[in-house]
Amino acid sequence: MTNRSQHALTEYLFAIGATALWSGNFIIARGLHESIPPIRLAFWRWVVAVLVFLPFAWKPLMAERHTLKKHLPYLAITALLGITIFNTLIYFAGQTTKAINLSLISITFPIFIVILARFLFRELLTLNKILGMTLVVTGVIVLVTGGDMNTLLNLSFAIGDLWMLCAAIIFAVYSILLKSKPPQLSIWSLQASTFILGLVFLFPFFIWEWRVSGPVSYDIKAVGSILYVGVFASLAAFVLWNKAIAVVGPAKAAMIYYTLPLFSGLLAHLFLGEEISSLHLYCLVLIVTGILIANYATQGAKIEEHIAK
């Protein structure tokens, strides 16, 4: 294996790691939806992320402060979409919608990325890529419905479903924006600046929710959950995802995101005692096969483009 192939493999592992960490965020969003209001959960999540990340990112922030000022509009838009709005919408969605609805709607995010990448970056939407996406979507749908397709016909949509759909579209745009990251900015300064800006944008809404809903009691479970989403689902996952986006591109990384329900199922088995059946293994085969086919198609498209030139 060449150094280039090893580097690409590492970036794929980064995308897988980010997806695994984010899967825990969905479980926490469901577990705390009755005890912590959504804006407060999002706010404290980013407070933890900033406090933990700032000591490591302080030097890059100072060294690149002039570049940060120059690209402040880009950073503000990226922070508003990816930090302030995206996860807050997930927590809002968890207030009123069913788990199966959330799972089905969340998988639309990579589809939006592929569509946006096609129009913005002229990435080819080949037959193999369409086939791969079809296999992945089929695997995820079978997984979340338990193999009973009649479940899809009986879904009732709440306002939370619309929030989740908006979150999926917003995260797709956010991932596309990361592809246009100014080359002078390091991952460290980009993440730290967007975390801080996103928290600043969220603060007025935090005050509003506190005045409307009143104080909240934080037990050990709530504190532990906030620490998880702040350190792992925020800091670690976003750094891994951004590094993956920078090398393999948003469309390829998006395909990895389809594995999120598999990680969620594993966590549910470990922490909630839910059974892992043969159905999960069949879905795993479908999802992994679809990801491999779609990514192979991208490589084939590059070869065809090279020959055409």
Q: What is the per-residue pLDDT across 114-147, written as a single tens digit (0 to 9) for each?
A: 778 777 777 777 788 788 888 888 887 787 677 7
> CB neighbours of 33 closer than 8 A, spacing ≥ 6?
91, 94, 95
Residue 54 is predicted with a pLDDT of 93
Half-sphere exposure of 253 (CA within 13 A, CB side): 31
- Mean pLDDT for back-to-back runs of 10 residues, the chain (309 residues): 63 86 83 86 94 92 95 96 92 77 71 78 77 83 74 68 88 86 89 95 96 88 91 86 79 76 76 71 80 63 36
Contact present, 279 and 142 (Cβ < 8 Å):
yes
> CB neighbours of 13 closer than 8 A, spacing ≥ 6?
none
Q: Of 97, 82, 95, which Cα lies nearest the Cα of 38?
A: 95
Please provide residue 150's backbone torsions phi and psi, each rounded to the nearest 5 degrees: -65, -20
Integer CA distances (angstroms), 87 to 42, 170, 177, 198, 258, in order: 7, 10, 17, 11, 18
Residue 233 is predicted with a pLDDT of 87
> CB neighbours of 100 closer than 8 A, spacing ≥ 6?
144, 145, 151, 155
Burial letters 185-204, b for 16+ CB under 10 A, else e: bbbbbbbbbbbbbbbebbee
Residue 8 is predicted with a pLDDT of 61
Q: Where are the beta strands (DSSP E) in the chain?
A: none
Contact present, 18 and 238 (Cβ < 8 Å):
yes
